[in-house]
Amino acid sequence: MSEQTPPSDQQDPLAIVQKSNEADLNKKQKLIKEVKSIAIIIIAVLTFRSVFFEPFRIPSGSMIPTLMIGDFILVNKFAYGFKVPFTDVVLGDKSFDPIYLVKRDGPKRGEVVVFKYPKDLSVNYIKRVIGLPGDTLEIRNKVVYINDKPIEPKEFDGKKIMDDMDDKFKGYNLKFYKVKNGEVEHVIQQDNDNYYKVDFDKVSVPQGSYFVMGDNRDFSYDARYWGFVSHEQIKGRAMFVWFSLIFPFGENPAKFRPWRIGTPIN
């Protein structure tokens, strides 16, 4: 009986080594392909966030009752112009102004905008545009005057707002008002016992800049304290609430507000 010949790869060590090298090469090529695919996805997502839409979370109560603590909002990044991606980034203590491919008109009176805080450009703030470039603005007895015309507040019952209010504000003597700023009608709240910022001396808004305030007027650190916001510092216009959740912290329980999902930001 003739003896069977062993397989060729058992006979030739070089063939075994070559086969192993080919397998390693295929694994490396597959890994490189996967890494490239992931990198492309990450770059695409970051580009989309930089140019088109970006989510933000509301950490404070300065925009109550329009925005509640824990609201997650979507911001239109090309509302005021189409930017070259990643040109308005902040790197360490250095902030870069956006480069516009197409520049549109700036924010309209009454729009809610996200912007780089002028005193620390690495921090994002959200407020409502009150004064436009060239306007004069002053506050008398908590009433805002634009170009010497008052934005008349109309008081209404805010019980529904109070029911949904963050607990830290429920102990104040709050009153709620509807105001019309430009074409935008919205709600503000004021603490009747707070007389710290009753008046604000008349100022002129410089060209290319805006005067912004929070809707929670007596609990908002805004342009009344630190000045104007330039067009280059504005990141985009707030559109709507896409999620709302307060995370549990210390003694504060979690609070999920599903009824706020989809709320437009007026």
Question: Catalytic residue positions?
Answer: 62, 127
CB atoms within 10 A of CB 121: 17
Cα distance between residue 5 and residue 243, in whole Å: 70
Question: What is the CB neighbour count within 10 angstroms for residue 219?
Answer: 20
Across the beta sheet with 149-150, the strand order is: 149-150, 143-146, 136-140, 200-204
| C-alpha distances in Å from residue 183, one per residue of 130, 160, 176, 255 | 12, 25, 20, 33
Nearest Cα neighbor of 75 from 203, 234, 258, 245 is 234
Tokens at 183, concatenated: 């074409």
Using only the alpha carbons of the chain, give its radius of gyration.
28
Question: Could you tell me which residues are beta bridge partners of residue 150?
Answer: 145
